[in-house]
Structure 1
């Protein structure tokens, strides 16, 4: 039996690689002869760098940078030839802050700019940026400021963002994200995502107003406006900054990774695909990573099992095409216990053994 395992991270709990390892143990406990292939996966957020490292190799480079509250941290990105893979959550990730530290109107994307400058100095020209999981809603303004500040050290003539752009003239930027929201409005980055980052109703209005003002300024400056492009609202508006200032190309994050992994060719050989995420509901079918995997498996009539820490809308998910749908956590287990990494791994392993 050929089984393909590609579980997304269970956010705040276990990584994609850890989830895959637990599932593999569950398979081998029941069927030691099974041929098991595991793939570290990400749609642009947590685990993006690790997933590409597994896919294309390269070297992990670690630098001094700053988190969303401008506190010093170590941040890593992947270098493979002249290609750099950057996970913005490595510096400004929501997971790096405690709930009591969330400051949506103050959080800055400065750390992302620090990674960009360092990578460019290393000679990188092809940037693959994973957008997702940020604590920021600053439209990338912090990132742009960091580009000016950091390049000024090497080139004193750099005084403003226009002086920075030639430094990246021969570079390409590909963005990976599962978000299609625009920058402003009812479906914009503030209205949809800022509440998850601790924003009050008034702060959402403020952030949306700031975004509109910044977009208007940028449109006047460049003579074009990317704020209504799908994905401009990704990662607290970082999507917009890359689209507007660097003519970036937006792609579904999972699809970018799957091409690097030659994932479809592996799926067609499988007898079963096991995927999953921290919480699954009807939104899973709206472009989230498990639904991307499902779409590929459907082409070759390969059954897909969906595992999650919490499952809602099971009938909707079943109609969407998932043959097996399971929560890995017993209903009597407390949320606190469910989120313990060792508990999650144990429950994932036993769930996989049970469904096989």
Structure 2
């Protein structure tokens, strides 16, 4: 009996990881009815991060009253398992919470993420895992810090916050950018959140000032650490103020689910994402899965809605790279969930896995 692991990232704006995995599973069983299929919901820190960890470690989804990036009241979920919380910052501070015309990183705040942290601490959490993906903000986490101060040190400062002293933070991101400069949060990511070239310069200057003041006050400077530029500088706030450990999102998840143990007797791994190209090889989720599988000599098939740089992907070690969409498929058709599911199913069914 063949054992096939399916671990496909979400197709953003189209399918969740769970939905993509299920479609692939149906394709496998149509071709190999007696196959043992192990479905692994995955995320690298962005969309689906909370759900992937719930599938891995159980727990319950709880709700908290928070603020969106424009300080409007919303209810946001996070995962609670014992004294561990898993927070996906996009649930409170995400770009998808704003209409396109509302996007403005000059005013968007991470305050809501702070409210999620506060809620988790009040429930007794001692380890908080934070997925840093999909943010609408570029405020260096200042909003988040303000929310924590408002809750735990009313009228005081960060130095008066003692409730986090025994709380351990782990941030999950595959962004390695520093906080400031040409490769920093503002220059690289703020334009995607609606920033004009002038605003990018202003945001970067604001980040430099905040980092300078923070370093002077605290006696350490985390602005150049890997991940500091993630989520509009939220990574920096966690590193600087909470001494968080920064982990690759996919590596953290794969360790949590004991992925290496699953690979021991596997015959194939199927992974994928919405669009695959040479950037996939720069630490994105399918590449993290490929690296684990290669250690166990398990072949990996990569599927995607769009494929570029196919030879580079094959040279990296994927045994096959398959585009799920027939040539000439219009984007608006390809992005329909029912179409995407069927195309994944047919692609896998037609692959030589037997």
Quote how far apart the aligned CAs of 1:315 are: 0.8
Q: 1:331 to 1:74 in 2, by over 3 A?
A: farther
Take 1:194 and 1:355, find their aligned partners in 2: how far apart are those partners? 40
147, 156, 159: which one pairs with 1:159? 156
Take 1:268 and 1:203, find their aligned partners in 2: how far apart are those partners? 51
Quote how far apart the aligned CAs of 1:98 are: 3.0
CA contact (8 A) 1:12 1:95 kept: no
Give 4+ residue runs of structure 1 displaced > 3 Å after superposition. Answer: none
Take 1:20 and 1:95, find their aligned partners in 2: how far apart are those partners? 23
236, 239, 260: which one pairs with 2:235? 239
Quote how far apart the aligned CAs of 1:71 are: 2.3
1:250 aligns with 2:249: no
- Paired residues, what number? 351
Q: Which secondary structure state, in structure 1, belongs to the residue aligned with residue 163 of structure 2?
A: helix
Take 1:344 and 1:95, find their aligned partners in 2: how far apart are those partners? 21
Deviations along 1:54-99, whole A, 9 cap, x unmatched? Answer: 1111111111212212222221111111111111111112223333
Deviations along 1:138-180, whole A, 9 cap, x unmatched? Answer: 110110111122335xxx5x5222222x110111111111111
CA contact (8 A) 1:137 1:190 kept: yes
CA contact (8 A) 1:15 1:47 kept: yes
1:208 aligns with 2:204: yes
CA contact (8 A) 1:310 1:329 kept: yes
Kindly report the root-mean-square deviation, in angstroms, between the aligned alpha carbons of the 2 structures.
Answer: 1.3
Take 2:83 and 2:69, find their aligned partners in 1: how far apart are those partners? 27
Take 1:267 and 1:69, find their aligned partners in 2: how far apart are those partners? 44
| Residue number in structure 2 paired with 1:264 | 260
- TM-score of the superposed pair, with normalisation by structure 1: 0.96
Deviations along 1:16-52, whole A, 9 cap, x unmatched? Answer: 1111111111111222111100001111111111111
CA contact (8 A) 1:44 1:131 kept: yes
| Residue number in structure 1 paired with 2:46 | 45
Structure 2 unpaired stretches of 5+ = none
| Residue number in structure 1 paired with 2:184 | 188
Q: 1:71 to 1:354 in 2, by over 3 A?
A: farther
Take 1:172 and 1:71, find their aligned partners in 2: how far apart are those partners? 29
Q: 1:98 to 1:268 in 2, by over 3 A?
A: farther
| Residue number in structure 1 paired with 2:292 | 296
197, 207, 225: which one pairs with 1:229? 225
- TM-score of the superposed pair, with normalisation by structure 2: 0.96
Quote how far apart the aligned CAs of 1:242 are: 0.4
Take 2:99 and 2:331, find their aligned partners in 1: how far apart are those partners? 17
Deviations along 1:201-226, whole A, 9 cap, x unmatched? Answer: 11211111111111011111112110
Take 2:105 and 2:92, find their aligned partners in 1: how far apart are those partners? 15
CA contact (8 A) 1:275 1:304 kept: yes
